Structure 1
């Protein structure tokens, strides 16, 4: 038997305006401009530029401090559309919240135009005389080359794929023969099946000298010893001097380990960084400004308001007129929501970055990363009275143009550790000191992680060896053995 019962439950849902605001906040300048353009195209009730009656400063800070809302001379609150519609007719747009996650954003990736890397190689194959089957094998091999320029798959797998997908039955020797032809294409080293082979191919394309011949021999017969930097063993094995080994290694270091990346027409993502903020030092004080492209001049269309007033004053109330009124009111509401959201976005961005700038004032005045204070998202959120997620949206996607370069804002955040005096210091400060210590070390005898931990302890930062190893890896610095030079 079915039972029915009532239960009460509290739930929190975001309004469409809140969702719109959160999405706008996380957009960097260029993406914001695209979003603004899209909104202007989709909503005829939203217009850009000033109206004749507007009289306010272009500067964002004045806009932020001005509570009069002069740039919006028409407001939808002045229109009592409910008097026009009957009580039992609720416009459909009012019931649509579209309450999906604020993170459900459209992600578009721009790509470079031009010939792809794969097509670039195919074009070179057209100059080689091959039979139909050889051409098919060569084309398949080129198609197996990744963005770095390597063929990562075993020849046996390629052999099977040719049989199943291309109906070409051949043997491993024939594939290797065509592979050697592919490896003659540009850029040098393309089509290699390993780093060792890639470097050797490039060396063999050079004019052979004693140092290059030695470099080829080392890579062909002692690649493992070379990668592990067992230089003394190499000197003994080949009965050479230290200078001869150094010259051979110098030739190897000139090579490109990723030949595919050297192709200028290679299709890859283009990333244009447009600073969202600018920080300058004026008379010894910090000055913050928001990129003007983030503060567009928008207003609600006066024509749309006049249309609505016309329908409102009309004596005949047909269903068609009611539908038109609902459409106009929807567009006017959407236009006002968007204007309000942009204004709040400007305020949120400016207040958040200004607080970060003041928090890290010593760093921004000097540029010394050792002056970065420990700072987490909650520190800023508590100061400005906003949610941590809001600060995160600003920090993770915005850039600041500073006297020391353009940097992602989240780079100014770091955890804290205690020094030997019990003071909180930024982990970035410790990493910077660690980086400097490694930079100044004797390269013939690099410092181990244990020794680095001892040096940091002497400098007042008592951290464990495993923490040193973690920071070193985060700085993309190899272990001591791999930093060794002759």
Structure 2
């Protein structure tokens, strides 16, 4: 049965401008340039002022304050179907299409960074394969094996699957013995350990390339072949009894094993996988006074295109305002609105970043003066949100992806937030302080008898931090510190 009814609902929706601001706010500085370039390419009504001015004679087109432009616009504004003069500016600049070509050229120039020519990991292996005297069939098998390696240099694909791959893709019928024979040749390539099917085989390949007459190497091969599990679990006492060696001999064997590379494929690619961090803020200590500045990349010079301004002027002067003309102006208005929203969102982003970081700096003033983790106060998102009168989610978007450069390092803002722990005296301190003490205790421990979590708990209680053992274990794991048994050394 169908029936009609009236209902009242309260719905909270974000406007397109708010969504655009939220997305821009969580973008870090390192990605902001790409986001602005994307907007410039999508919206021809938006221009990069710093690039547009390169084509303009400065004496004919002086830069003007945006506030002055807005005043002049209001003075010449008429009430049309569209508020045309709202988008007009007095800056006479070249046509957008002309400056666009210059922009692209400039972008290309900035991209042409000299890069050292180097062969990739797989290209290096293929070159070594081509140097061998192999039959055509074995050469194709070798290329199939190299193409099946993972990025870390391991062959995790079963031999039976390689047989099927060769049959279907290369129309080659190869036996398991033939594939293993070529695989053995690939395992002799550099870097040592490449082509291994597991960690044990990888380590053995590297050890067997060393001096076979060396007793230590022989014992290391015996250890990896027969006692790898005991070695990974650091059951050193059992290894000494089994191999009939003393602690000094075992230490020499372990030192040889630790020199090996468990991921040979990463050695060639590590150089190209560096993480580049561009700080969003800079804090300087000027004789005890902290000075906060925003990275200049967060403040691009953007404005509305001159060519779209002229389109509105043409529409104003035109006597014939037919349907096609109105549709064109509607399109232009949409692009201008989008450009203005984007510029406003960028400005709002700057203000929010500065306001939030300023509150964090003032809250942690002693820490930013000294760089000592013991001066880091307990601080949660709500503490900063209350100071800046913003939502917690807004502060979270700023803290999760932004970096600040100080005189003692560059840090993610999120790292300054920590929970409070109450000492025996009733004072609230940051859990960062407890982690620092834990780190110092473990760094200074006797590596032959590392401190267990229970002992670390007792040490913290003696220092006035009544913390449970499970909390100590949680902090230790958060700092990527293994359990006591795995920290044991000879």
The TM-score, its normalising length taken from structure 2, stands at 0.83
Partners of 2:46 and 2:70 in 1: CA distance: 11
Query: Any idea what SS the aligned residue of 1:150 has?
Result: coil
Match for residue 237 of structure 2? 232
1:188 pairs, out of 177, 180, 192, with 192
State the number of aligned residues: 449
Deviations along 1:58-79, one digit per CA (max 9) or x if unpaired, are: xxxxxxxxxx835767769946
Match for residue 252 of structure 2? 247
Match for residue 345 of structure 1? 349
Match for residue 467 of structure 1? 471
Correspondence 1:140 to 2:137 = no
Partners of 2:412 and 2:77 in 1: CA distance: 43
Shift in alpha-carbon separation, 1:455–1:162, aligned structure 2, 3 A = farther
Partners of 1:191 and 1:206 in 2: CA distance: 18
Shift in alpha-carbon separation, 1:157–1:457, aligned structure 2, 3 A = farther
Match for residue 288 of structure 1? 292
Deviations along 1:331-360, one digit per CA (max 9) or x if unpaired, are: 222222122111111000111111111111
Query: Any idea what SS the aligned residue of 1:453 has?
Result: helix
Q: Aligned-pair distance for 1:32?
A: 1.1
Query: Any idea what SS the aligned residue of 2:81 has?
Result: helix
Partners of 2:195 and 2:234 in 1: CA distance: 26
Q: Aligned-pair distance for 1:477?
A: 1.0
Partners of 1:170 and 1:198 in 2: CA distance: 25
| Aligned ranges 1:308-347 → 2 under 5 Å | 308-347=312-351
Partners of 1:311 and 1:212 in 2: CA distance: 86
Deviations along 1:101-141, one digit per CA (max 9) or x if unpaired, are: xxxxxxxxxxx996543333223222223334433433332
Q: Is the 8 A contact 1:75 1:300 kept in 2?
A: no
**129-138 or 311-320, larger mean C-alpha shift:** 129-138
Partners of 1:226 and 1:455 in 2: CA distance: 30
2:400 pairs, out of 367, 392, 396, with 396
| Aligned ranges 1:135-284 → 2 under 5 Å | 135-159=139-163, 168-208=172-212, 209-264=214-269, 271-284=275-288
Q: Aligned-pair distance for 1:20?
A: 1.2
Partners of 1:258 and 1:181 in 2: CA distance: 19
Match for residue 385 of structure 2? 381
Shift in alpha-carbon separation, 1:388–1:321, aligned structure 2, 3 A = same
Q: Is the 8 A contact 1:54 1:71 kept in 2?
A: no
Query: Any idea what SS the aligned residue of 1:21 has?
Result: helix
Partners of 1:18 and 1:351 in 2: CA distance: 18
Q: Is the 8 A contact 2:120 2:268 kept in 1?
A: no
Instruction: Kindly indicate whether structure 1 or structure 2 has the higher relative contact order, using CA contacts under 8 Å at least 6 residues apart.
Output: 1
Q: Is the 8 A contact 1:71 1:297 kept in 2?
A: no
Q: Aligned-pair distance for 1:235?
A: 2.7
User: Which stretches in structure 2 are left out of the alignment for 5+ residues?
Assistant: 85-115
Partners of 1:154 and 1:420 in 2: CA distance: 59
Partners of 2:425 and 2:277 in 1: CA distance: 40
RMSD, aligned α-carbons: 2.8
Match for residue 18 of structure 1? 18
Partners of 2:243 and 2:293 in 1: CA distance: 63
Partners of 2:233 and 2:137 in 1: CA distance: 42
Correspondence 1:126 to 2:119 = no
Shift in alpha-carbon separation, 1:171–1:479, aligned structure 2, 3 A = farther
Deviations along 1:390-439, one digit per CA (max 9) or x if unpaired, are: 11211111111111111111111122222222332222221121111100
Q: Aligned-pair distance for 1:154?
A: 4.2
